[in-house]
Structure 1
Amino acid sequence: MTESTEPLSPRARLAVTAGKAAAAVSRAAGRGSGSVIGGRVALKLDPDLLARLAGHLDVVLVSATNGKTTTTRLIAEALRAGGPVVSNALGANMPAGITSALAGGSDARYGVIEVDEKYLAGVARDVEPKVIALLNLSRDQLDRAAETRMLAEHWRTGLEGSKATIVANCDDPLVVWAASSSAHVVWVAAGQEWKDDAWSCPACGGVLQRPDDGFVCGECGFARPQPTWVLSGDHVLDPHGSAWPIHLQLPGRANKANAASSAAVAAVFGIAPQVALERMYSVAAVAGRYDVVTYQNRELRLLLAKNPAGWLETFSLIDPPPTPVVLSVNARGADGTDTSWLWDVDYTRLAGHPIAVIGDRRLDLAVRLEVAGLEFTVHDTLQQAIGALPPGRIELIANYTAFQDVRRVVGN
């Protein structure tokens, strides 16, 4: 464990107090948790506050396009076997939100922090993490996010020379290339169902060949590294070849992959895979994701899917036809305003499901579904959509702000 730093300076204490006050005002006004505005106020008063707050913690940073909120939660639960944990569990993953989270962790031993992909290198410089977990990279928020290879290059440059142990998914070529600049890498075979952002070699631009056991560039030799941790069906294989069962309340292959990476992170801190994985079972939902709620006398399972890779994983875990499905898409600032990504999603996987479409961009989605040859109805509200669907539990899939809209409507 990192040695405790000196008590916070008067300036830092003032910044923390002011930040908490700003957050409280925001909550009282009904504008959310207040973590972002609280962090902004605190950092304005003390720009070095994030580093000061992390000084006594063993920090884990988690970054990816998909799955970082869930993996952060799983790691936090695992590390609680070793001591108190502070974490930005609700997903405020830029410096302001991270600062707010750490401000409440004066008694913690570990800091488990989700970090937006674009801010990873800067946050890593500030908090000097012991472990950085890199899960995947794919297209997201097309109007403002860098092209995926550029983002991987940013990671690669920013992490070069880092003293942290990098726990990285060896099945994602972009993650492998980004992590390979680091001296200490633990490779996890976590899988990668979405491959459409990594057909060319990130090292030289050549075409990646995709044999069953990974990937290799025929021009420069860049290839999938040998993993020391492996997701194998319902088990995690550790570096000694022992198989540990994964028992999660969270559904789907993607969450088993998140658990495998989380077990590898926990092992860096001396927490055995059996202990780590048993603790992960307690996670039933993450910020409303995977919750089953009752609304209009119907059961709805709430599923978040923000981009093509996320939608692909989500389709793999919904109940089979004829289970009714509600799809909701917005294009607000937090989502990215470019909806062209809808054309990269294979919506034919929903064939046989009764489908109702809502959300700000319901007409954009309707055009995409029509081209895919699917039958669907379009509605202004969730209540209308539910009324148009046949009986049975409903799978509700929404992107980021649409998901928050639904949670407010159903009282979750």
Structure 2
Amino acid sequence: MAGNSEPLSARAKLAVTAGKAAAAVSRAAGRGSGSVIGGRVALKLDPDLLARLAGHLDVVLVSATNGKTTTTRLIAEALRAAGPVVSNALGANMPAGITSALAGGSDARYGVIEVDEKYLAGVARDVHPKAIALLNLSRDQLDRAAETRMLAEKWREGLSGTDAVVVANADDPLVAWAASSCPTVVWVAAGQEWKDDAWSCPACGGVLQRPGDDWGCGDCGFRRPPTTWALKGDYVLAPDGVAWPIQLQLPGRANKANAATSAAVAAIFGVHPQTALERMYAVQAVAGRYDVVQYLGRDLRLLLAKNPAGWLETFSLIDGPPTPVLLSVNARGADGTDTSWLWDVDYTRLAGHPICVIGDRKLDLAVRLEVAGLDFRVCEDVDEAVNSAPAGKIEVIANYTAFQDLRRRIGN
């Protein structure tokens, strides 16, 4: 819960000032927003700064493999109906980036914070959140991330006994198992398209049975918990049985699921579902995602997909053939250097689309597309790829650093 609102100590003020100075130097040098280096400097001077900065806030933490940046933005928009919000809107989601974000929120009432999955338990200990939203868990950054069940176990142990109200996706068995150690859980039927990381029971290792939209373990009895909120088509079904329409500018089923979870979180803070959902409509893009940008005479729609679950959801968004598709994959530190996940993605969904491939690991992707039996063209850069397409719309799908490269190149 929100703690006291005592003024910051001299040490904490010095840490905040030094962090902001370091961030400004980083920005001036053209090295990005500076939020991470600023936070690192601040935490070096005051290791307890994150807890101090969150002391006057009612905090929501949002964590997942996919969708946490968008959900953070949707919750922040909903809670602005009740008061000022501070949020790490650009996705710097480790303690340093979170510290930088909160350092700019002295006048805020609410903190809506995206948290990297591996840091969730530690950040929760520091900031004493009022609510925690858990969306999904799937394979990601295979070279350095824990196996998904191990990650779920860290959540389960780290959040056990938390005072926060946990809003959790009942349709993801890993999330359900992680959240089931928490005293107060609001279960949301948010759906789960990608199921390949959740065929075995996280509690005992037995095979999960999946009749229809349900799931359960025949060995230990662990099963899908009963839900009080649900995504039903284009509506959010609230606990009182009222169905509220979801009218988003953001595309796709996954974003409707994010909106359903966001409405459940907002209700904890007294924001009515109708008010929350209406405010979410104002969100057109999130950190460049879903933006349509004109470049070299074409309209490029920018879509981010970082792992197999993300690519599966993204394929459902793209227009049908003959709309050209540009794919870009890197394997830098922020992406994870292991590209074996490319073989888990069903690229045959792109059959019939003209496909261009760019990025640091374009040849890895080309081999995968060749095996899938797809026609494609390997290009040197985005300019060559765009110029090879006819005038009109191009769907652009990129993983994390490839997405950032594209935004810099095309001026978005």
TM-score of the superposed pair, with normalisation by structure 1 = 0.99
- Distance in 1 (CA, whole Å) between partners of 2:374 and 2:209 is 33
Hey, what does 1:340 align to over in structure 2? 340
Pair 1:281 & 2:316 matched? no
In the alignment, does 2:152 pair up with 1:156? no
Q: For residues 61 and 3 of structure 1, what CA distance do their matches in structure 2 show?
A: 16
What residue ranges of structure 2 are gaps of 5+ in the alignment? none
2:108 aligned with 1:115, yes or no? no
Whether the aligned pair in 2 keeps the contact of 1:247 and 1:278 (CA below 8 Å) is yes
- 1:361 Cα deviation from its structure 2 partner: 0.3
Matched residue type, 1:119: Y
What does residue 196 of structure 1 align with?
A: 196
Cα distance in 2 between the residues matched to 1:70 and 1:78: 12
Cα distance per residue 1:304-333 (max 9 Å; x no partner): 000000000000011111110000000000
Write the distance in 2 (CA, Å) between the matches of 1:128 and 1:143.
Answer: 31
What does 1:184-333 correspond to in 2, within 5 Å? Answer: 184-333=184-333
Say if 1:229 and 1:237, in contact at 8 Å, map to a contact too.
yes
Partner of 1:387: 387
SS in 2 for 1:312: helix
2:356 counterpart letter in structure 1: A
- 1:21-79: CA deviation from partner (whole Å, max 9, x where unpaired): 00000000000000000000000000000000000000000000000000000000000
Residue type of the alignment partner of 1:74: L
CA displacement at 1:175 relative to structure 2 = 0.1
In structure 2, give the amino acid aligned to 1:294.
Answer: Q
Count how many residue pairs are aligned between Structure 1 and Structure 2. 412
1:209-267: CA deviations, max 9, x gaps? 11113101010011101110000000000001100000000000000000000000000
Counterpart residue number, 2:58:
58
Would you say the 8 A contact 1:155–1:179 is kept in 2? yes
- 1:28 equivalenced with 2:21 (yes/no): no
- Offset at residue 285 of structure 1 (A): 0.3
Q: Percent identity?
A: 83
Distance 1:71 1:8 in 2: 30
Aligned-partner residue type, residue 367 of structure 1: V
Q: What is the rounded CA distance, in whole Å, between the counterparts of 2:316 and 2:213 in structure 1?
A: 22
Residue of structure 1 in register with 2:13 after alignment = 13
Residue equivalent to 1:362: 362
Say whether the 8 Å CA contact 1:354–1:390 is kept in structure 2.
no
Aligned equivalent of 2:175? 175
1:393 aligned counterpart, secondary structure: strand
What is residue 136 of structure 1 aligned with on the other side?
136
- Higher mean Cα deviation, 53-62 or 212-221? 212-221
Residue 4 of structure 1: CA displacement? 3.8
Rounded to whole Å, the distance in 2 between the matches of 1:3 and 1:108 is 13
Contact preservation (8 Å) 1:216, 1:222: yes
Distance 1:410 1:348 in 2: 28
Counterpart Cα distance in 1 of 2:229 and 2:154: 26
Alpha-carbon distance, 1:3 to partner? 5.3
Which amino acid is 2:300 matched to?
Answer: L
Which stretch shows the higher mean deviation, 257-266 or 387-396? 387-396
Question: 2:90: which partner in 1?
Answer: 90
Return the letter of the residue paired with 2:349.
R
Distance 1:278 1:377, change over 3 A: same
Say whether 1:351 aligns with 2:351: yes
Moved more, 109-118 or 211-220: 211-220
Q: Partner residue of 2:46?
A: 46
1:67 aligns with 2:67: yes
Offset, 1:389: 2.0
Q: Is the 8 A contact 1:93 1:116 kept in 2?
A: yes
CA RMSD of aligned residues (A): 0.7
- Helix, strand or coil: the match of 2:392? coil
**What is the distance in 2 between the residues matched to 1:390 and 1:80?**
43
Cα shift at 1:5: 2.2
CA distance in 1, matches of 2:340, 2:250: 30
CA contact (8 A) 1:356 1:378 kept: yes
Question: What SS does the aligned partner of 1:303 have?
Answer: strand
Q: Distance in 1 between matches of 2:228 and 2:390?
A: 47
In 2, the alpha carbon distance for the partners of 1:100 and 1:303 equals 27
CA distance in structure 2 between the aligned counterparts of 1:68 and 1:197, rounded to whole angstroms:
18
1:215 counterpart letter in structure 2: W
Amino acid at match of 2:247: H
Could you tell me which amino acid in structure 1 is paired with residue 262 of structure 2? S
Q: Give the TM-score, by structure 2 length.
A: 0.99
- Work out whether residues 90 and 287 of structure 1, in 8 Å CA contact, stay in contact via their aligned partners in 2: yes
Judge conservation of contact 1:324–1:353 (CA < 8 Å) in 2.
yes
Instruction: Give the letter for the 1:179 counterpart.
Output: A
Give the drift of 1:391.
3.4
Quick check: 1:5–1:56 contact (8 Å CA) kept in 2? Answer: yes
SS at match of 1:285: coil
The answer to whether the 8 A contact 1:249-1:281 is kept is yes
Q: Partners in 2 of 1:150 and 1:281 — Cα distance?
A: 36
Give the match for residue 99 of structure 2: 99
Contact 2:2 2:129 in 1 (8 A): no
Q: 1:116 and 1:280 mapped to 2: Cα distance?
A: 23
Contact 1:187–1:226 at 8 Å: present in 2 too? yes
Matches of 1:73 and 1:302 in 2, distance apart? 18
Query: In the alignment, is the contact (CA less than 8 A) between 2:329 and 2:360 conserved in 1?
Result: yes
Looking at structure 1, the residues matched to 237 and 286 of structure 2 have their Cα atoms a distance apart, in angstroms, of: 25
